[in-house]
A and B are shown apart, each in its own frame.
Chain A
Amino acid sequence: AQSVTQLGSHVSVSEGALVLLRCNYSSSVPPYLFWYVQYPNQGLQLLLKYTTGATLVKGINGFEAEFKKSETSFHLTKPSAHMSDAAEYFCAVSNTGGFKTIFGAGTRLFVKA
């Protein structure tokens, strides 16, 4: 069975500060890992994904995440937060070719001016 744990339901940063959103996963098979973002009243859209190969993956809007197998983690970072980054962020896991993608509980990011 697969599961995702996101540490911190709310994260608040100042504009220009580092963003770090934490995600740990559990999977009995090599996972595919994803970060999705949800803006108010919208659906989820993909920020970035890890499947195989390079463990540091870059996504849209300056976000990146690093797959660390030894720590079963896939934390999301951005060097400098922007007001427009305020949204809900979901970490997700699926197995290779799997029919089901499991989402974490989400982390709401607040960006202060």
Chain B
Amino acid sequence: EPEVTQTPSHQVTQMGQEVILRCVPISNHLYFYWYRQILGQKVEFLVSFYNNEISEKSEIFDDQFSVERPDGSNFTLKIRSTKLEDSAMYFCASRGTSLDTGELFFGEGSRLTVL
């Protein structure tokens, strides 16, 4: 069964460092998402990406964050100059087409710890 894969599963970084989280969405999907879940809290929308551009983003997704689809398979989230409060589980998700019913397929997440 096709699945969304994320790497790394866990990353520890020092405050102020740059981090890149990688995702390989399901191959024929067209919509891509990043969500964040701080430990014990809700799943928060960060950004959606379609047709090689950001289609919507939340207030959390400020200039510190960027997304890219550098090739036909990977979808990356870059966090510049990480802060302690960026520590969270980051989930990538993908969705099929505009004709589908909006079901998101999630990866298992990348846990980011900022020290």
Q: How many A-B residue pairs have CB under 8 A?
A: 59
* The stretch of A17-25, A43-51, A64-72, A79-87 that contacts the partner chain: A43-51
B43 contacts A103, C-beta separation under 8 Å? yes
* Interface residue ranges of A21-36 to B (CB < 8 Å): 32, 34, 36
B42 contacts A106, C-beta separation under 8 Å? yes
Bound complex: CA of A44 vs CA of B105, how far in Å? 8
- Interface secondary structure of B, over-half rule: strand
A99 contacts B109, C-beta separation under 8 Å? no
Q: What sequence of 0s and 1s flags, for each residue 101-112 of chain B, a beta carbon within 8 Å of any chain A beta carbon?
A: 111111111000
* Interface residue ranges of B18-56 to A (CB < 8 Å): 31, 33, 35, 41-45, 48, 50, 55-56
For residue A44, which residues in chain B have a CB less than 8 angstroms away from its CB? 43, 91, 93, 104, 106
Contact of A100 among B4, B48, B108 (CB under 8 A): B48
A105 contacts B55, C-beta separation under 8 Å? no
Q: Which residue of B lies closest to A44 (CB)?
A: B106
Decide yes or no: A99 and B48 within 8 Å by CB, A104-B42, A106-B43 being known contacts: yes
For residue A34, which residues in chain B have a CB less than 8 angstroms away from its CB? 102-103
B101 contacts A102, C-beta separation under 8 Å? no
* Interface residue ranges of B36-91 to A (CB < 8 Å): 41-45, 48, 50, 55-56, 91
A105 contacts B106, C-beta separation under 8 Å? no
B56 contacts A43, C-beta separation under 8 Å? no
Contact of B102 among A94, A104, A105 (CB under 8 A): A94
B28 vs chain A, min Cβ distance (A): 18
Bound complex: CA of A44 vs CA of B6, how far in Å? 13
Known: A51-B102, A101-B102. 6 other contacts (CB 8 A): A36-B106, A43-B91, A44-B106, A90-B42, A97-B98, A100-B48
Chain B residues close to A by CB (< 8 Å): 4, 31, 33, 35, 41-45, 48, 50, 55-56, 91, 93, 98, 101-109
